[in-house]
Amino acid sequence: MTQERPGPRVREVAVGSILSPSKLADYCLNPYAGCEHGCVYCYARFATRFSHPNEKWGSFVDARTNAPMLIEKEAARKRAGRVVISSVSDGWQPQEKKYCLTRRCLAVLLRHSYSVFLQTKSALAQRDFDLIEGHANVEFGVTLTTVEPGVARLFEPGASAPCDRIEVVIKARRIGIRTFVFLGPLLPYISDRGVGLRELLDTVAEVNPDYFLVDRLNPRYGMWGSLSAALSSYDSGLVPEYRRMLYDRQARDHYTMELRHRIAGEAGERGLAGKMRLCF
Ligand code: SF4
């Protein structure tokens, strides 16, 4: 039986601006701070280290309820460019069902001819396909770190099941949107080799997106505690292996080299080499 997760503590907050300059694109837009998906390896937790010190990642969400009002002003005033939604949270995490902040901001951006790059782990995103259908300046993709539902539940406890994410990106492709699949971070010894990796690349071949990205697991702010706890319940023998891969420079270089080789081999076997973009 799957244990029900307690809902997050939700705060409604007002922010000063919503369209921020970004290294990933021209701008990023985060209608939420904190993410109920609570991925144990999440790199975004640094963004709330001052506003939510000592609160468990995944247990709180700030809904920036003035985001739709701000974006109306900022989108009109700023140069129309490429916007990533979202960079430090998931724009379609469960609270979005109630607040519709991502949906409302997206509608404004498209009206002002901004290009949008949408990435999610939530099947809720398909609710907004009526907005993006017919837009050539939209890219939509889902993140997959594994196709195994039990593994995903452990490492990404609040996100949609992998099969639901896959269905959503297939739907996006069917309505003519440019699509991608983000395989990352690949979980060492779980989905970065053997059956786990083959299943992921078989899925990419089945979805047939315009391109797919691959990333390795990176050591980032505050993630070790939740990552090692999840690993301990999956297979405690992996804890020292992960520690070495993340924090020992030589082991990490070796791991990276081997991973690149494995990915290239599996992608090549499926005729996917031309669609692959490595992030490391
Ligand atoms: S969905 Fe993204 S932002 Fe949300 S917890 Fe997972 S990795 Fe972090």
The pLDDT value given to residue 5: 82
CB 119 within 8 Å of CB 141 = yes
Name residue, tokens 């469960």: 94
Q: Mutation test of ligand 1: which of 5, 24, 42, 220 has the most ligand atoms closer than 8 Å to its C-beta?
A: 42
pLDDT for residue 78: 97
Nearest partner of 95 among 69, 70, 64, 71, judged by Cα:
64
Tell me how many degrees the CA angle 114-120-126 measures, rounded to the nearest 5. 80
Q: What is the pLDDT of residue 81?
A: 97
The token pair that represents 244 in the structure block: 């070495």
Q: Is 90 in the pocket of ligand 1 (CB under 6 A)?
A: yes
- What gap in Å lies between CA 110 and CA 201, rounded to an integer? 32
How does pLDDT run along the chain (280 residues), one tens digit per residue?
556 788 999 999 999 999 999 999 999 999 999 999 999 999 999 999 999 999 999 999 999 999 999 999 999 999 999 999 999 999 999 999 999 999 999 999 999 999 999 999 999 999 999 999 999 999 999 999 999 999 999 999 999 999 999 999 999 999 999 999 999 999 999 999 999 999 999 999 999 999 999 999 999 999 999 999 999 999 999 999 999 999 999 999 999 999 999 999 999 999 999 999 999 9
Whether 38 lines ligand 1, by a CB cut-off of 6 Å, is: yes
Q: What is the amino acid identity at position 92? A: W
Which residues, 6+ apart, have CB-to-CB distance to 262 below 8 Å? 192, 193, 197
DSSP notation for 184-203: -S--TTTTSSHHHHHHHHHH
Centroid of ligand 1 to alpha carbon of 242 (angstroms) = 20
Of all protein residues, whose CA lies closest to atom 7 belonging to ligand 1? 42
CB 133 within 8 A of CB 175: yes
Distance (Å) from CA 90 to ligand 1 centroid = 6
- Give the SS3 label for residue 105: helix
Count Cβ atoms below 10 Å from residue 161 Cβ, excluding itself: 17
| Ligand 1: centre distance to CA 56 (Å) | 13
- Reported residue count of the chain is 280
Give the whole-angstrom CA distance, residue 223 versus residue 3. 23
pLDDT of residue 46: 93
CA of 272 from ligand 1 middle (Å) equals 26
pTM of the model: 0.97
Can you give the pLDDT at residue 2? 53
Amino acid 32: pLDDT: 98
Domains of the chain: 9-278 (3.20.20.70)
CA dihedral 168, 176, 104, 12 (to 10 degrees): 30
CA distance 164 to 142: 10
Place of tokens 């990533």: 84
